[in-house]
Structures are given as structure tokens and as C-alpha cells.
Amino acid sequence: MISTSRRQLAGVIAGALALAGLAAPAAAAEKWDLYIYNPVATVAAAKGMSAVAAQIEKDTGGELSVRLHLGGSLPINTTTITQAVSDDVVQMGDDGYFLGNVPIGGVLRLPMLIRFLDEYKKAADIMAPYLEKAFEKKGVLVLGQYLYPYQVAFSSKKLTSLADVKGQKIRVTSPEQGEFIKRLGGVPVTLGAPEVPSALDRSIVDGVLTANTGGGNTWKDLLKFNYRLGINYFNSVVIVNKERFNKLSPEIQAKVRKAVADNMPLITKAMADEEDNLSKKFAEGGMTVTEQQPGDLDVGTKAISAYWDEWAKSKGPDAAAALKQVRTALGR
């Protein structure tokens, strides 16, 4: 059952979608809405998702059209995109903030656990069936994923080592990151991407954990320091309402899957290619960019490693089993 408040919200969103569709051509037999958390159309992830939508319409000959909505353009919270897709408020979603709905996904986000891209790939292969099972319980199918480069720390205050985190209010993208910041003496704050600029401007937060190609580039004018110790990777899942997807013909389903599969590696590569160049641009623009300090990897790991198993036990037997498999594969 959907609660009254969620029904009311769904009604508000449906009205907004209907108004948005007034100017749209009425050619497609089936029209879907795709909501993404990125509020800026020019970042690599948003451009990639726009390409997914365009390819679906092209490859299906207009039998299915997908209208993309940027983060903040609909009354859907950043952390409730999976629920909105499950409730068929929107039919597709690009969700990087799904851990509240699918906690087991946090294995891939545990700070300091996964240190290199090849390690991430090993862990992601192990986690794929766990993620698919957990999303399917919500009535949602996972069509694909893309990956941001390492999340690192940015701040408006001095931040040139892990020790500088102490006392700072840092916006985090997951509870797991929040625990890391707490253990370093900082204050974690959870905010959706559309809320971050005003929070930085009003000193509600001092800094953020993000990648250059994510919030780093978007919010660079509000940030003065960047410390390049990689904390964790950040994956984003492209999801679809299971019931709506299953109503499509097998041919259309295959074309939707192909559009997602074609573009996920392109988004990941585009962001990886931008990462180092953006660090240089940030430094040229006056930001203090500091490479990882000797010993900080060990300091960070020591601060958080005991939490990995604590976290898994709190999330249930599947999470504990998944983490054990990942740690064994990584030798960590």
C-alpha cells in the first residue's frame, strides 16, 4: 500500500509531468519519464543519460520515448529516486543515492575498502546478483551502472591532510562516508546535490566528498581546497519499473537494455578522462590541490576498517556474506 502522503506526492509529480508534456510531440505509443539526480545538464553523467533517452527513442522508432528530468526539476528527493521508480511515479531513474532503499549496495561504498579500479571491478562482479535481488524486491530492475572516479575531499577551509577534517562540516553521499568523517573528528551532513551550493554559500557545510567530474567541477567556485586521498568509488544505477518494463515487447526491452549498456562505459570513461585535467584546472584557478600525504592511507584505513564488519552485521546475513566474499577477493 502507498501511504496517503506518498499518494499526494505522486499526484503533485503527475501534475508536473503532465504540464511538462504539454509542449512535447504526441508521436510515441509509450511515453516514460526518467529522473536523474544531477541538476546540471552539461556534466558527463547527465549528457550520458540524455544520450540513453535519445537512443531509446531512435532505436525503437518512436514506439517508446523517454523524457529526461534533471535533479530538482520534480518534487522527488535525491534519496527517494528508487522509491519513485518503484511507485511508477517515474518509469526510469538514475540513482546514485539508493543506499537508504538498498542498503547492501553499501559494500561497494565502504570507505578505504576498495582502492583501485581493478579491485572495484572484482567487487562489482561479486555484488551484481546481490544488488539485482535487492532492487527486484522493490519492483525495480537494474539495467546498468556507471562509475565516478574516486570520491575525494573538497573544502572552503584548509584541507591538506586527513587531520584537517577534524571539526569541519562535510557533506557526504552515504551513511558509510558519514561514519568515516565522524571517526576523523568531522561532522557529516547529508544533502542532495541540488541543495549543496546554497549550503556551501551559507556555511551550513564547509566541504564535500565528491569526484572532480561530479560536484567538484559543479561547485568549484565555492571551494578552496582539494585533498586527493581516495575514500571510495561512487556507482550510479540506471533502474526501471519492473512492471512497466515487462509490459514492453521483448524487442523493445532488448533495445532499452542495449541503449543503457552502450552508454554506461562511455559515461564512466568520460568522467575518468576528465578527472586529472580538472585537477590541473582547479589548481590554475586558485584552488589548493594536495596529493595524498604519506601515511594517510594507513591512517584512514585504521580509523574505519573495524567498521566494515560492524556495518555488514547491522545490514543482515546477505550483506555479511557479500562483504566476506569481497574482502576475500581483495585480500583485505
Task: Give the C-alpha separation, 55 to 49, whole Å.
Answer: 10
DSSP track, 159-201: -SSGGGGTT-EEEESSHHHHHHHHHTT-EEEE--GGGHHHHHH
Q: Which residues pair with 189 in a beta bridge?
A: 171
Please report the pLDDT score of residue 175 as a whole number: 87
Task: Give the C-alpha separation, 22 to 36, whole Å.
Answer: 21
State pLDDT tens for residues 154-197.
999 999 999 999 999 999 988 899 999 999 999 999 998 889 99
Task: Give the C-alpha separation, 248 to 318, whole Å.
Answer: 32
CA nearest to 307, candidates 188, 185, 179: 179
Q: Provide mean pLDDT across the span 56-66.
A: 98
pTM of the model: 0.83
DSSP track, 56-87: HHHHTTTSEEEEEE-TTSSS--GGGHHHHHHT
> How many angstroms separate the most distant Cα atoms in the chain?
60
Radius of gyration of the chain (CA): 20
Buried/exposed 13-22: b ≥16 CB within 10 Å, e otherwise: beebbeeeee
Q: Which amino acid is at 140?
A: V
Please report the pLDDT score of residue 2 as a whole number: 47
Q: Which amino acid is at 201?
A: D
CA nearest to 161, candidates 302, 295, 306, 304: 295
pLDDT higher than 60, residue 4:
no
Task: Give the C-alpha separation, 82 to 94, whole Å.
Answer: 9
Contact in structure between 69 and 33 (CB atoms under 8 Å): yes
Please report the pLDDT score of residue 17 as a whole number: 60
Please report the pLDDT score of residue 6 as a whole number: 56
pLDDT higher than 70, residue 5:
no
26-330: in CATH 3.10.20.30:
no
Please report the pLDDT score of residue 1 as a whole number: 44
Model confidence at 214, pLDDT cuts 50, 70, 90, reads confident
Contact in structure between 83 and 20 (CB atoms under 8 Å): no
Q: Where are the domains of the chain?
A: 26-330
Between helices 117-136 and 317-330, what is the axis angle to 10°? 160
Q: What percent of the chain has pLDDT over 90?
A: 86
Residues with Cβ within 8 Å of residue 199, at least 6 apart in sequence: 171, 189, 191, 205
Q: What percent of the chain has pLDDT over 70?
A: 92
**Residue 75 CA neighbour count, 13 Å, CB half:** 13
